Amino acid sequence: MKPTVVLVGRPNVGKSTLFNRLTKTRDALVADLPGLTRDRHYGHGKSGSKPFLVVDTGGFEPLAKDGILHEMARQTEQAIAEADVVIFVVDGRQGITAHDKDIANKLRRLDRPVFVAVNKTEGMDKGVTTADFHELGLGEPWSISASHGEGVRGLVEMALEPYPEPAEDEEKERHPRVAIVGRPNVGKSTLINALIGEERVIAFDMPGTTRDSIFVDFERNGRKYTLIDTAGLRRKGKVFEAIEKFSVVKTLQSIEDANVVVLVLDAQADISDQDAHIAGFIVESGRALVVAINKWDGLSSYERDQIKNRLLSKLKFLDFARFHTISALKGQGLGDLLHSIDSAYGAAMIKMSTPQLTRVLIDAVAKQAPPRHGLFRPKPRYAHQGGSNPPIVVVHGNALDHISDSYRRYLERTYRDAFKLQGTPLRIQFNVTR
Q: Is 143 in the site for ligand GDP (CB under 6 A)?
A: no
The answer to whether 185 contacts ligand GDP (rule: CB under 6 A) is: yes
Q: Considering the rule CB under 6 A, would residue 184 count as an interface residue with ligand GDP?
A: yes
Rounded Cα distance between 315 and 293, Å, is: 12
Which x/- pattern, by CB under 6 A, does the window 81-120 give for ligand GDP? Answer: --------------------------------------xx
Note whether 329 and 278 are within 8 A (CB): no
CA distances, 300 to each of 185, 267, 268, 314, 414 (Å): 21, 12, 11, 21, 38
**DSSP, res 286:** T
Site for ligand GDP (CB under 6 A): which residue of 327, 343, 389, 424? 327
Residues 6+ apart with CB under 8 A from 355: none
Contact segment (CB under 6 A) with ligand GDP among 26-34, 42-50, 169-177, 291-299 equals 291-299
Residue 297 counted as an annotated binding residue: yes
- Our CB check for ligand GDP shows the closer of 182 and 423 to be 182
Q: How far apart are CA 355 and CA 239, in angstroms?
A: 49
Q: Any binding-site annotation on 187?
A: yes
Nearest-CA neighbor of 429 among 28, 38, 24, 37? 28
Number of residues near ligand GDP (by CB under 6 A)? 32
278 binds ligand GDP (CB under 6 A): no
147 touches ligand GDP (CB under 6 A): yes
Q: HSE, CB side, 13 Å, CA atoms: give it for residue 419.
A: 29
Minimum Å gap between C-beta 323 and ligand GDP is 15
How many CA atoms, within 13 angstroms, populate the side-chain half-sphere of residue 24?
A: 11
Q: CB of residue 71 vs ligand GDP: minimum separation in angstroms?
A: 18
End-to-end CA separation in angstroms for the chain:
37
Enumerate the β-bridge partners of residue 395.
383, 430
Say if residue 405 carries a ligand binding annotation. no
CB of 129 to ligand GDP, least distance (A): 11
Asked if 391 touches ligand GDP (CB under 6 A), the answer is no
Query: Three-state DSSP class for 292?
Result: strand
1-60: which residues touch ligand GDP (CB under 6 A)?
Answer: 9, 11-17, 58
The binding site for ligand GDP (CB under 6 A) comprises: 9, 11-17, 58, 119-120, 122, 145-148, 182, 184-190, 242, 294-295, 297-298, 327-329
